[in-house]
Amino acid sequence: MEKEVEVGEWWVPPWYTEKTSVVRLPFTSLVSLSSLERRLTAEGAAEVYNTYPDRITQLFWSLNYPPTAKVECAGDGQVTPAEDASAEDYERPGYSWAELRFYDWYGEAFFYRWRRPTHFDLEVHTRDESYTVRHEEIGALGAYTRGVSGVDVLGYPKTYTQILVEAGLNPYRVPLTLDRRTPTSEGVGEALIRLVEWSRISYTPLRLLAHASIGRPLTANEAHVAYERKWLITHTNTGLEDWKTMPQLVEHDRGGLLYRPKPGAHFNVVQLDFTSMYPTLIHKWNISPETVNNPYAQHTRSVPGTKHTVEVGRLGVVPEALSRLLTRRERLRRLAVELGDRTLELRQQAVKWLLVASFGYLGFRNAKFGKIEAYECVTALARETVRRAVDAVEGAGYRVLHVMVDSLFIQRCDKAPIGEDELNTLIHTLEQVTGLKLKVEAKYDWVVFSRNRHSALASPQRYYGRLAGGALKLKGLECVKRSCPQIIRGAQLEALSILGEARTPEEFAAALRHAQEAFKKHRGQIEAAHRPDAETPPHLFTFCVQGAKRAMGGGVEGYIWLLKGVEGYYPADWGYMGIDREHYLKLLEAAWEQLDPQQPPQQFRGEGG
């Protein structure tokens, strides 16, 4: 400790309406700092605050530039920023990177327990060269270690570390490693863009973000706001949920508004979305742990549909932190459109996910800035906002087919296409009524709300539709799930490609008949798969799940590929040992029911079903 001790007045949790004297001890050694913290805590000599986030992140706060920003080093050792740390169009850091993916007979492999993968893909990007290797035999991995060992960032499934070591590559010497252990893992190049954007926002080093949840950059950004205000942050969230009667609990413990639409195909439909609905409500209503139900607040307003109040006149930490994110995202979106830059688009998506997660962490009891009552305020306001929007849509003479939290599916009563001018007028009306911005999420030639197998109504979060441009939008269908066997996914996608050619009700009805033929073809493949002379590739029956506790009778780390045999589920690593024909036929039947808007459940069985 070289600098002088600082004594100042800081605001005290949980309401931050009173101050207390605080001693700040500047250190140049993290080891000495940690040692003193442990002694003070163990002896009860003092309370230690603001230990979150880590000390390195707080160091960058004090320097006033993030760890991924460019700096200039003077001869005397002084470091100064070489760019505007708050700019959205910063130059992309020139990190070199490589990505390894491993494969076996069933597809991409993530978990190494029973056998080694047989092949690998490699992508390398350095300052001097870039190259890609596809489906190379695993024994050839050692020939590529020189090009991989010198990169700044390496992405690979960490369950395969031993294979890399045997090939002559020590991943522990790579400055930053990313665990690519999910079927939908983003590429390392895209992951780096996201991590750098989060680092610029939260001032957190990349190595601390690489293996952390999204809550780390989100909470670090909120903590930075609190730190600037001289607010003390406790080590753990000590706030308790307020007492509620049973009727109050039923009323408050609810999510967003969700309709159960009538199953069927609907033509000329427009989907409207509220722009950043939850973050905007948080900011607009000043919802934060210290502003909700504050007993010391002088000016408050009641939240409709709850017993809660929100303080007005003092901006909360969470709303201020979110306002910075909302502003940053809007600027990035505008720049991405103006410049047509893919990197800027990925950055705005990274900010979007922080905004999406902000609502969930507001209700997370262990979050530094979480409080269940604040969460309940947001959901109540969201329900009230959507109800007002529905009333306005119906009052303007349109039908509301479906409501899904922050989305409205609307249609003219005569089912004719909605004109551009009348759509703009409707959006303007809704914005005036709700006080929130809306955008056109999609225009459909038709949209199908899929039936729930256990109800006469449709599943609220499953639908598919043909966009006005000809592409298909799929939500909640089996073919978009990781746990869907590939033969079932193939049947749905083939049928959907047929349906996607239709535009009118007559064309859709005809296409539906042709789509059913595609399912019958896949049914024949399943029927024949158990015969010795079967030509159906066995990898079509595999599916990927995480954990597989129920299937395997114990915990399995990471993702694993399974098949369903007559004796139960078994890992694809064991090799192909046949399938349970009836199981896959039932899955095929359920997949058809998701597509068919006309027939009742159990309609599609085919011969021998």
Q: Which of 416, 586, 401, 595 is nearest to 511 (CA)?
A: 595
d(CA 519, CA 542): 18
Query: Could you give the count of Cα atoms lying within 13 Å of 206 in the half-sphere of its Cβ?
Result: 19
Q: Which of 14, 124, 8, 103 is nearest to 368 (CA)?
A: 14
d(CA 389, CA 77): 59
CATH number for the region 480-595 comes to 1.10.132.60
What is the pLDDT at residue 532? 67
**Domain map of the chain by residue range?**
6-89+215-228, 246-451, 480-595
CATH number for the region 246-451 comes to 3.90.1600.10
d(CA 191, CA 181): 13
What is the pLDDT at residue 557? 64
pTM of structure:
0.89
Residues in the chain: 609
| Residue stretches of the chain with pLDDT short of 70 | 1-3, 238-240, 532-534, 548-557, 599-609
What is the pLDDT at residue 83? 85
What is the pLDDT at residue 607? 41
What is the pLDDT at residue 556? 59
Which token pair is 499?
């349906």
3-class SS letters over 458-526: EEEEEEEEEECCCCEEEECCHHHCCCCCHHHHHHHHHHHHHHCCCCCHHHHHHHHHHHHHHHHHHHHHH
What is the pLDDT at residue 600? 58
